[in-house]
Amino acid sequence: MLILMEPSASPDQVREILDLLEASGIRGQVNESPGSLSIVAPHASQALKPDRIEPMAGVRRVVPITSPFKLASADSATARTVVEVRGVPIGGGTLALAAGPCGVESRDQLFTIARYVAESGVKLLRAGAFKPRTSPYSFQGLGEEGLRLLEEVREEFGLGIVTEATEVETFDAVERSADMIQIGARNMQNFALLRRAGRSGKPVLLKRGPAATLEEWLYAAEYILGEGNRKVVLCERGIRTWSDHARNTLDVSVVPAAKALTHLPVMVDPSHATGRRDLVIPCGLAGVAAGADGLLVETHCHPEKALSDGPQALLPSDFMRLASLAQGVHRAIQAPTPAGLWM
Ligand code: PEP
Ligand code: MN
C-alpha cells in the first residue's frame, strides 16, 4: 500500500506508522519530494487493513498498490523519480547524455576522449574498468587501475563517472569510484549483485537483459529498490531477436511501455542495441522520440584501435551531431501534446 501523509506530518507521526508496519514484519520506505510525503509498504494490505492506518495522525489517505511491482510501479509513488548523478538530473523533463568508451584502456585513451566529452558540454562519462566479456580471452578491463584513472578524469574535467560493477567481490571498489553504478545486461538477474546495489547510496543504472521481458526487468529493479536504494535508472540496450543485421534489436516500444508502468527514468543505449556505428544515431534518436530520459553512447577517438566494442563507437564529431539532434527531438516531444499521448 501507499500511505499518503500530510506534507506537514511530523517525524514522530511517520515513525509511529513505520513501527506499526514493522510489527507486522513490513519495512516501509519513506519518500519525500517537494510538497509530498509518503510511505510505501509492499504487501502491507495482506497484514493491515487501510482503515487501521487511515485514522492515524498525519495520514491523509491509503491507496492500494495493485501492480506486482510494489516499489517500481507508477502507482507506488506520488511523482516520477528524478535521479541526480553528480548534479545531472536523469528524468524530470531534461535529456541526460552520458558518453565515453566501452572500456578504460589507458590514461591517454581515457583523457583524450574525456576531454572531447567535457568540451561537448556532456557532464557524464561512461567507461568500464571491469568488463563483462563474452569470451574469457577478450580484454577484461583494467580493473582497479581503471577506477583510479576514472577518478583522475573526474578530478580533471568535473565529469560524473558511470562505470560497471560486474561482481559482488569488487563492488565496494567500484562503488567508491563511481558516481553511478552500472549493472550490465548479463547481470540483470544476478540477484546478489542487485541486492548489493540496493544497499548502496549511489545511483544505479540497470540495463535490460538481452532476453528479458519488461516484467523481468522491473522485478530486477524491485530487488534494488527493496534494499532501500530509490536511485534506479532503467536502460534499454537491445534484445536478442532473429534479426542478424545488427548485434541486438533496439526495443523502441519498451520505452513508453516501461514509462507507463514505472516511476523510474528510462535511458536508451543505442550502441549495444545495434553494435554498428551507422545505426547508432538513428536508433538513439528513435529512443529519444519514444520518450527516453537520456542516452548512453559509446564514443572513442580511435575506434579501430579500441580493445572492446570499436565497431559501435562514435567518433566525437558524430557524437556531437547525435547530441544536438537528440536535444532537438527531445524539445519537440516536450511540447504540449494532447492528453493520452505517450508522454
Ligand atoms: C557496456 O555498457 O559496455 C556493456 C557491457 O553493456 P551491456 O551490459 O548492455 O552489454
Ligand atoms: Mn561496450
What are the pLDDT digits (tens) for 149-199?
999 999 999 999 999 999 999 999 999 999 999 999 999 999 999 999 999
**Cα 162 to middle of ligand 2, angstroms:** 13
CATH superfamily of the domain spanning 83-334: Aldolase class I (3.20.20.70)
CA atoms within 13 A of residue 149's CA, in its CB half-sphere:
25
Q: Is the pLDDT of residue 214 over 60?
A: yes
What is the reported pLDDT for 33?
85
Q: Are strands 29-33 and 96-100 parallel, antiparallel or unpaired?
A: unpaired
- Ligand 1 pocket: which of 164, 183, 189 to mutate (most atoms within 8 A of CB): 164
Helices (H) and strands (E) in the chain, counts: 11, 14
The band of 127, judged by pLDDT with boundaries at 50, 70 and 90, is: very high
- Cell 557524437 sits on residue: 319
Closest CA to 72 of 34, 31, 33, 37: 31
C-alpha cell at 271: 550502441
Average pLDDT over all residues of the chain: 96
How far apart CA 238 and CA 271 sit, in angstroms, is: 9
Answer for the pair 258, 67: CB distance below 8 angstroms, yes or no.
Answer: no
Protein residue with least CA distance to atom 6, ligand 1: 184
| CA 340 / ligand 2 centre spacing (Å) | 36
Q: Is residue 341 scored above 70 in pLDDT?
A: no
Q: What are phi and psi of 229, to 5 degrees?
A: -90, 110
Report the atom number in ligand 1 closest to the C-alpha of 207.
9
| Distance between Cα 186 and ligand 1 center (Å) | 8
* Distance, C-alpha 315 to centroid of its chain: 24
Q: Which of 243, 241, 246, 129 is nearest to 254 (CA)?
A: 241
Neighbouring CB atoms inside 10 A of 238's CB total 24
**Strand 29-33 relative to strand 36-40, pairing:** antiparallel
Pocket-testing residue among 126, 182, 206, ligand 1, by greatest number of atoms within 8 A of Cβ:
182
Closest C-alpha among 95, 151, 146 to residue 122? 95
Cβ–Cβ < 8 Å for 310, 109:
no
Closest listed ligand to the CA of 299:
2
**pLDDT value for 45:** 86
What is the position in ligand 1's atom list of the atom closest to the CA of 296? 2
pLDDT in tens, 284-335: 999 999 999 999 999 999 999 999 999 999 999 999 999 999 999 999 998 7
- pLDDT of 146 strictly over 90: yes
Question: Domain residue spans in the chain?
Answer: 2-12+21-65, 83-334
C-alpha 317 – ligand 1 centre gap (Å): 22
Ligand 1 pocket check for 92: Cβ under 6 Å: no
pLDDT digits (tens, 9 = 90+) for 253-287: 999 999 999 999 999 999 999 999 999 999 999 99
What's the confidence (pLDDT) of residue 334? 87
What DSSP letter does each residue of 78-91 carry, written as one string? Answer: SS---EEETTEEEB
